[in-house]
Amino acid sequence: MTAFAKRIVAVSIASFFLALAASQIIRTRAALNLEEGRGVTFNRDLAPIVFRTCAPCHHPGEAGPFSLLTYGDVKSHARQIADLTQKRIMPPWLPEPGEWKFNDDLHLAQEEIALFKKWVNTGMPEGAPSDLPPAPRFNSGWHLGEPDMTLHADSSFEVPANGSDVYWNFIFRPPLEKTRWIKAIEIRPGERRLVHHANLIVDRSQSSRRQEKSPGSGFPGMELQIESETFDPDGHFLFWKPGTIPEPEPHDMALRLDPANDLVLNTHLQPSGKVEKIQPAIGLYFTNEPAVKFPLLLQLENDRKLNIPAGEKNFVVTDEFELPESVLLFAIYPHAHYLCRDMLAQARFPNGQTKTLLHISRWDLNWQAVFTYAAPIDLPAGTKVSMRYSYDNSDANPANPNSPPQRVVAGNRATDEMAHLWLQVLPKAAATQTQDPRRVLQEAIASHHVQNNPDDFEAHYNLAAMLQARGEVSQSIEHFKRALVLRPGDATVENALGGAYFVAGDLPQAIAHLSVAVRARPDYFDSQYNLGLALANSGEFHQAIEHLRAAVSLRSQDADAEANLGGALAAIGETKEAVAHLRRALELNPQHSLARENLDSILQDSPNP
């Protein structure tokens, strides 16, 4: 008897996943020489600061528009440097100094800033050659050496000569034959003077491909919405900004990449005055050590409250979330668009003490970044993490995209706003058979979002997915239904709801909803696969085969689809073709027990099909 997998492919979580290859440069703060009577020289006093905080971007091939590597370089921009450091425009670093240090902190001390001014005012002396520290050396190729796999964007994107900022997304399709563990990803965005920042997002469901006009063309958009599998949140920030030197992930926290997974690079580009093309590349570095620790990304947000009247100077949005589990906080990524001015993230500890996790008093989208703590912060269960963002929608805000100001609400366009705070955390407790702290955290945050915003589609969807995974099927169906009310006919929800009915054992309802999903989007792998499975379980093998064939043609490297297609073919006596698909499943995944079991069973019945 041929067996079918009594399971369903994971439903999806719609969410944003942003990431960082945390770079680390060891800080060497120069000794300060501002005592009375002692002159400031480039070699002794300024070079250490310039080499550490300016040169990483201001060297040939990097984003800085001119080099700052020598006395002559610095002298020919001396007044500008003194002015921009005084105004804290350069080096670009948003967080105020606080309790916890960040990696790659570019903040200059007041005494360091004073050195530049004093130097300009005293004739810009070069100083003794023996005082000059060694010039920093920069690698013009891959920082981490030749990658194990290099991927180039399929096509370049032409950045117009003028106009305001442009957001473009490139999809990379790593040709993996089997699951690989990634210890580092290096992003080479192309002409660096144009690229303000870039986020790399793992798209496990190829959901971004639907946005491309033709395969490989890329697509516009400032924000990405990616569907991913429920319990595999991409808990890594993969973020690039000018001057970034990629840092490998901790050895026990590698990133999983499966065959058919896509990597989507979201870039923020600024015209330079001439038409230029960019064609990014990424380098993947593999490890044989699978991850044993799985960080996850928690998002605080309150977009629903964003309804900012024109002219409003101080519009405040807050959110607070109580951690149900103890975690280590690795990194923090605040996100808003152009109207936001002040961002405050705090932790209120169970003992009543409040500490600031991040404070940005002059938010500037152009210099957004993921901020990684020099050492992880211990946040015990019961800690309340909060965000408080303030927005200026008056014409006094030079970044205001509307002139004259207009009412602004939440949305994905540059003229809309956002209020998001992402935390990369690692639960301190290990998962047991009955309790996985990651799931507890995810369900708690999804539940928090539903409470915050009963009309939040994603919140209902995510909570439903979480409940389903915990076996709370009837509750899960309720939330999927709420999501469906908010987006009637949405293929993703119809698929998920059909999946939930399947798990609940209600095959007619499952088939009804999955059929709607397939009709809405025939190229949707998950729904074709799920419908095929539901039909097979109802004994409708011929129809099942039709949908499983569709699934296999949509994704040629999915072992489950091959195995189930093989099973369905075997059920109607098409053993020869069944064997071919089962063998293909085992080729893709030699440990596929269903395929193995079915194949053995067929070969036992008829050794030479």
Partner 1 sequence: MFSKTNHRRRILFASLLLICGLAFFVCGSSLFAQMVLSLEGKPVDPIKASDGKVTVFIFVRTDCPISNRYAPLLQKMNGEFAGKTKFWLVYPDKKTTPQQITQHLQQFHYSIPALRDPDHSLVSLAGATITPESAVFDSQGRLIYHGRIDNLYEDAARARPAATTHELQNAIDAAIAGKPASIASAPAVGCYISDLE
Q: Which residues bind partner 1 (CB under 8 A)?
A: 65-66, 75-80, 83-84, 87, 89-90, 92, 161-162, 164-165, 193, 270-274, 338, 364, 366, 395, 398-401, 403, 414
214 vs 403 by CB, closer to partner 1? 403
**Least distance (Å) from partner 1 to the CB of residue 363?**
12
Helix axes 110-121, 78-86, angle to 10 degrees: 150
338 vs 502 by CB, closer to partner 1? 338
**Least distance (Å) from partner 1 to the CB of residue 339?**
11
Would you say 420 and 299 are in contact if contact means Cβ atoms under 8 Å apart?
yes
* Interacting residues of 436 by C-beta distance below 8 A, sequence separation 6+: none
**Least distance (Å) from partner 1 to the CB of residue 91?**
10
Residue matched to tokens 């399929």:
154
361 vs 451 by CB, closer to partner 1? 361
Would you say 51 and 26 are in contact if contact means Cβ atoms under 8 Å apart?
no
Tokens at 203, concatenated: 């798209």
Would you say 196 and 366 are in contact if contact means Cβ atoms under 8 Å apart?
yes
87 vs 101 by CB, closer to partner 1? 87
> Cα separation of 343 and 52, whole Å?
27
339 vs 602 by CB, closer to partner 1? 339
164 vs 604 by CB, closer to partner 1? 164
Tokens at 225, concatenated: 């919405």
**Least distance (Å) from partner 1 to the CB of residue 443?**
40
**Least distance (Å) from partner 1 to the CB of residue 64?**
9
> Cα separation of 139 and 61, whole Å?
10
Give backbone dihedrals phi and psi of 140, rounded to 5 degrees, phi first: -85, -15
Would you say 23 and 104 are in contact if contact means Cβ atoms under 8 Å apart?
yes
> Cα separation of 443 and 448, whole Å?
8
Would you say 224 and 231 are in contact if contact means Cβ atoms under 8 Å apart?
no
> Cα separation of 353 and 346, whole Å?
10
C-beta pairs of 136-142 under 8 Å, 24+ apart in sequence:
136/51, 136/52, 136/55, 136/56, 136/59, 136/69, 138/55, 138/56, 138/59, 138/61, 138/62, 140/60, 140/61, 142/186, 142/188, 142/283
Would you say 349 and 357 are in contact if contact means Cβ atoms under 8 Å apart?
no
139 vs 366 by CB, closer to partner 1? 366
**Least distance (Å) from partner 1 to the CB of residue 309?**
19
237 vs 363 by CB, closer to partner 1? 363
320 vs 364 by CB, closer to partner 1? 364
**Least distance (Å) from partner 1 to the CB of residue 395?**
8
**Least distance (Å) from partner 1 to the CB of residue 116?**
12
**Least distance (Å) from partner 1 to the CB of residue 137?**
22
